Amino acid sequence: MSLPIAPKPALRRFHQARWDEPIIFELSTPGERGVLVSPIEPGIRERVGDVLADLPDGLRRATPPALPEMGQMRVLKHYLRLSQENLGADLNVDIGQGTCTMKYAPKVNDQLIAVPQLQDLHPRQDPADVQGALAVVHGLQEALAEVSGMDAVSLNTQGGSAAIWANIAMIRAYHASRGEGEQRREVITTIFSHPSNAAAAKAAGYDVITLYPDADGYPDLAALRAALSERTAAIMVTNPEDTGIYNPQIAEWVAAAHEVGALASYDQANANGILGITRAREAGFDVCHFNLHKTFGAPHGCGGPGGGANAVTAALAPFLPGSRVVKEGDRFVIVEPGEQSIGHTGPSFGPIPTIARAYLWIRALGAEGLRAVAEIAVLNNNYLLEKVRRIPGASAPYATGRRRIEQVRYSWQELFEQTGVTSEEIGIRLADFGMHYWTSHHPYVVPQPFTLEPTESYSMAELDEYVAVLAEVAREAREATETVRTAPHNQSVHHTHHDELDDPSRWAITWRAYLRKYPEANRSASAQPA
């Protein structure tokens, strides 16, 4: 007779490791070594001579670099302890990083990119020696051209915001080539498109016009038509927007832009909900970009190593940034940017490991698999939407009763009005359960926002667990308010005070800057026992 198995509790116990770990410079002990480098043999020294003699004085260090001095065992313990103080997709239900597509990055791809032929590449290596790697770059270019419907792809940009910058730089170069650069000085975007679109356009010198949604949350076509003119250089929009709402009139938006001679730029940094279902080309866009470390299964890496991809129509192809790989016969060759190109946005291609992971992910899934990714992501998101809306105090503003695509921007406004507990405080308390969420881009158009994006990676059980934690923290906000407000309690860090974080005079970005700003820390570090 077998004993019944007790069901797993919906709210599992969690406590983060807390090591109070110093930074590695504070652990340094003078004279301690991790590796003993053999001295140069006299014969070699005589043969080679002084290898530093030809260096200009300005490139020589006046003193040796102040590197930490530690044995290997202490280094290993230090970084393993730090790794235990992290939350992440490989440890937790990390669906809360809305707009960033935190998904499963297949570990077999990590093994494949570790081979020396990819791991040890130099950007200036002779193309004849790296045909396999160039075949991977070329294959990804071709795959993304198919996914977007565009004619040409560059993998030069190093991440999403860099790719958006490349989009507006290409648009600027295109209008300049037609003699309309001075005339077209405005860019139109929407408040729920990713803010990097407005930021890149502003940095490029354009006046930015931001459109707000209609009463149902949809981008307003009438407002767009009123804003368009012969001064418009481009519309730069995300679709679905960062609310998860898909603009059903997107083709009309693009057509309206084209009517006044403007171009249309599609922010597809997160294309997780539309793969194989709709493409930038069918909506008439001139340029789009992807984030390889979001949609295409490469690790997000807390903002890096990112990989961007720009895809354009034939009319914009001459303006693409950076080197591209083309196939000539049975060989792959690197083609440098031409005269009309906006130049290099980064060295060579984006990170080869990220490019390889994205290519492997696409090849493993195939066309049917890519569409299945989108379908499951949308299914998961709408399942989560239905569950979250049942939590007292939570809501999903706009598009009432309608489905969303791959994410939703929710609101705790009702709970805030009842308890005074903010969305940020709820997010911090979630860390005590080993989970995480993200609030929203500023400005907070949706009050007390939280943005969830479950992707295709998470099971129904994990979604249920996440909702159970949200519901529990919402209950605590009503019945144990101080528990939420003073969180985190089970984490490696204490509650942070924004008065300090918001004061630049207290910031120290590097260890050296910290010692300059707080000399007493230098005395404390130097007083540590050997």
Last residue of a domain, one of 332, 365, 398: 365
The residue from 335, 365, 395 where one domain ends is: 365
Q: How far apart are CA 431 and CA 88, in angstroms?
A: 11
CB neighbour list of residue 284: distance below 8 Å, 6 or more residues apart: 251, 254, 255, 258, 264
Structure tokens at 178: 């037609």
Instruction: List CB contacts of 355: < 8 A, sequence separation 6 or more.
Output: 136, 137, 140, 155, 292, 307, 349
Residues 213 and 304 in one domain: yes
- Residue 148's alpha-carbon distances to 152, 189, 269, in angstroms, are 10, 21, 12
Asked whether residue 27 is assigned to any structural domain, the reply reads no
My answer on whether 359 and 458 are in the same domain is no
Q: Same structural domain for residues 160 and 276?
A: yes
309 and 292 share a domain?
yes
- Distances in Å between the alpha carbon of 497 and those of 21, 169, 425? 20, 39, 12
Residue 210 counted as domain residue: yes
389 shares a domain with 274: no
CATH of the domain at 358: 3.40.640.10
Instruction: Check: pTM over 0.75? Answer yes or no.
Output: yes
Q: Give domain status of residue 3, yes or no.
A: no
Q: Say whether both 401 and 336 belong to one domain.
A: no
111, part of any domain: no
Residues 6+ apart with CB under 8 A from 148: 268, 279, 280, 281, 288, 290, 311
Residues 278, 377: one domain? no
Residue 509 lies in a domain: no
Q: Does 101 map to a domain? A: no
- Please write the tens of the pLDDT for every residue from 35-90: 888 888 888 888 888 888 888 988 888 888 889 999 999 999 999 999 888 887 78
User: What's the rounded Cα separation, in Å, for the pair 273 and 8?
Assistant: 31
Q: How far is it, in rounded angstroms, from Cα 316 to Cα 229?
A: 21
**85 φ/ψ angles, rounded to the nearest 5 degrees:** -100, 20
* 341 and 418 within one domain: no
Q: What is the pLDDT of residue 513?
A: 87
Which range marks the domain in which residue 194 is found? 116-365
* The two three-digit tokens of residue 485, written as one number: 């407000």
Contact between 209 and 186 (Cβ < 8 Å): yes
How is 14-78 classified by DSSP, letter by letter?
A: -------PPPTTTT--TT--S--PPPPPHHHHHHH--TTTTS-GGGS-SS--------HHHHHHH
What are the tokens at 355?
A: 């490019």
Assess whether 393 and 345 both reside in one domain: no
The interaxial angle of helices 460-479 and 423-430, nearest 10 deg, is: 120
Is 261 part of any domain?
Answer: yes
Handedness of CA 171, 173, 178, 184 (dihedral sign): positive
Q: What are the per-10-residue average pLDDT scores of the chain (530 residues)?
A: 55 85 91 89 87 86 89 95 85 81 90 89 88 96 98 94 96 98 97 95 98 93 97 97 95 98 95 95 97 89 78 98 95 95 87 93 97 97 97 96 94 98 95 90 92 94 94 97 93 74 83 83 49
User: Which residue, 323, 345, 365, sits at the end of a domain?
Assistant: 365
How many domains are there within the chain? 2
